[in-house]
Amino acid sequence: MENGAAMPSSTPDRPAGRVLQRVRGPQDLKRLTPGQVRVLADEIREFLVQAVSRTGGHLGPNLGVVELTLAIHRVFESPRDTVVFDTGHQAYVHKLLTGRQDFGHLRKQGGLSGYPSRAESEHDVVENSHASTSLSWADGIAKANVVRGLHDRHVVAVIGDGALTGGMAWEALNNIAESQDRRLVVVVNDNGRSYSPTIGGMAHHLATLRTTRGYEAFLGWGKRTLNRSGPPGRLAYDALHGLKKGIKDVVAPQGMFEDLGMKYIGPIDGHDEGATERALRAARAFGAPVIVHVITEKGRGYSPAEHDVADRFHAVGQIHPETGLPVAPSRFGWTSVFADEIVEIGHDRPDVVAITAAMLHPVGLAPFAQEFPARTFDVGIAEQHAATSAAGMAFAGLHPVVAVYATFLNRAFDQVLMDVALHRAGVTFVLDRAGITGDDGASHNGVWDMAMLRVVPGLRLAAPRDEPTLRAALRAAVDVDDAPTVVRYPKGPVGDPLPAVEELDGVDVLERHGGADGGSGSARVLVVGVGSMAATAVSAGATLGAHGLRVTVASPTWVLPVPDGLVKLVGEHDLVVTVEDGVVDGGIGAGVAQHAAAASVPTPFVHCGVGPSFLEHASRDRVVAEQRLTPGDVARSALDALDARASGSPAYPTPDA
């Protein structure tokens, strides 16, 4: 290649580009000339577009931080110096520069995680992909360095302007600023977006900084003018100082950061690697907490992303790299059903308002916002505030619908409990991507919501199984004005409708199987499928029926509180198998068993769900198989339990199992 041979195309285990191929770790970057660094930045962008278009992943955020990540690794000494990425979806460049250049199985089992991963590299620290946490991590690491006497180590926290809308970030800044003995650099990666354009007072503040970079140039012009007129006297100096003071708050409101007691450097063009590197070197030499404000462009260098106003390239599936168009059109999904129905509800109910936490498009509220802009509120990455603000709206006569990913409701549990439920507020929480999501990894699986919400007094939770039940559940939820309601549904396309063959006291019965011989002596098995696992329950029920059992398959849409009709149905069977895509310990199945036991119903249970562990990234189908949640697994669990009963084995489940 050095003699003019053709540059190889990018392959999953062989990155394109002569410079990128030579980078095996951060130490290799320090030997590059400025010209080589610019070439490397271009090669990284080319590699990312080609690699991520094959596997799917977070494309836009990574294209925007190429020069910034290069500068960080050229200035600091990772892993001796700790680099913490907020959220972590912008860490692909970091992975490439720390020796991980095989992106062939990105976000697939056995391949690279879509977020930082300690299992992959000593350069990775924070795996949690929930936003606004990096500054607290950095504060803790910097404090530990001081206590341990490691005064030559630095901590770098990279946080986006979107993540700065989260209150936790400001709690951390309040603590970071109190001490001047910590070598901590906060890099604000300001691209004006999270998933969507950043909103709120912080966004306006950064926008002012972003658009007034002529401030220092203006002062330089003033100084040069005074110098050309001869030796400046005290009056001239006073005039310049007064001018500086007078315009500072108008055109350079960085005083907000400086008033916290932190040095502020910026704003810096984050795509000028040299300028970014100089700013970081100055921050490194300061020896105390510093904020470096860097301006970047999400999707930089990839035309489809640069010109996309809907931010479709924040995260992509498989796409054609030349056009950015999907390889296969997406099937109509759960989020689309919600998006359509909430608009219809909005037309019928002028008191219904929508709240999102910086995810207007991902949770399907963009059509509602377009139709009812004055009734749509984006609060930024602030789920706690969203829940309590919703309680206030309910008190004042509205019915708020708070749409978030299921995994992010974990952050607002106290507010759901103490602000919404305690005050009997009519607030509806819509949980997108509930259950097993798969390839986004441990912190994005929405498997804790049902077990967590079971303890909230008065809360009602629906787990619809198909499009009709989702639409009906949403309508029923917004009709409740004296308690919190929750509607949860999974990620991905909606399956075929699963109509009920009969309805018993609020519980839908989907199928009945009479047993191969039709005799009354066959064991009676009730299979309960919760939400998206209803289809699994139907398939498992068919298998059990083929084994000569009398089977009832049920799927209650409203699972909290446990329907009395379901407890009655339990009492009519010899064994109950519950199937859910949430944690099994304390989940819906456990709740049904508890209520049955309280009603003196002795029927034993087998609970199928997610075990007590964090799920590694893999396809949803693979995770389902590993958790033994396929129809075959569910049927086998029931047959094993019945075999244990027949043999008198102590392994046969007891009513409170």
- Indicate the DSSP class of residue 320: -
CA distance 36 to 102: 22
Q: Which one of 107, 193, 375, 411 is the catalytic residue?
A: 411
Q: Do residues 627 and 579 make contact, with C-beta atoms less than 8 angstroms apart?
A: no
What residue ranges in 54-183 does DSSP mark as E strands? 82-85, 155-160
Question: Is there a binding annotation on residue 607?
Answer: no
Please pick, among 43, 67, 383, 467, the residue that the annotation labels catalytic.
383
CB burial of residue 292 (10 Å; 0-12, 13-18, 19+): buried
**Residue 332: both structure tokens together:** 């109509």
Q: Is residue 142 within a helix (H) or strand (E), and if so which, with residue range?
A: helix 134-147
**Is residue 652 part of an annotated ligand binding site?**
no
Mention every residue, 6+ apart, whose C-beta is less than 8 A from residue 46. Answer: 10, 16, 17
Active site residue 306: no
Residue 302 assigned ligand-binding role: yes
Query: What distance in Å separates the CA atoms of residue 138 and residue 76, rounded to the nearest whole number?
Result: 15
Residue-wise burial string across 114-135, b where 16 or more C-beta atoms lie within 10 A, e elsewhere: bbbbeebbebbbbbbbbbbbbb
> Is position 131 annotated in a ligand binding site?
yes
Q: Is 554 annotated as a binding residue?
A: no
User: Is 411 noted as a catalytic residue in this protein?
Assistant: yes
Catalytic residue status for 298:
yes
Helix (H) or strand (E) holding 250: helix 234-251
Q: Comparing C-alpha atoms, which of 451, 357, 361, 352 is closest to residue 404? A: 357
Distance from CA of residue 650 to its chain's centroid? 43
Structure tokens belonging to residue 434 = 């509930």
Task: Return the number of other C-beta atoms located less than 10 Å from residue 178's C-beta.
Answer: 12
Residue 626 annotated as lining a ligand binding site: no
CB 162 within 8 A of CB 198: yes
> 108, 182, 284, 298: which one is catalytic?
298
Residue 191 counted as an annotated binding residue: yes
Does 573 show up as a binding residue in the annotation? no
Binding-site residues for Mg(2+) sit at 161, 191
Catalytic residues: 298, 383, 411
Binding-site residues for thiamine diphosphate sit at 89, 129-131, 162-163, 191, 302, 383
Binding-site residues sit at 89, 129-131, 161-163, 191, 302, 383
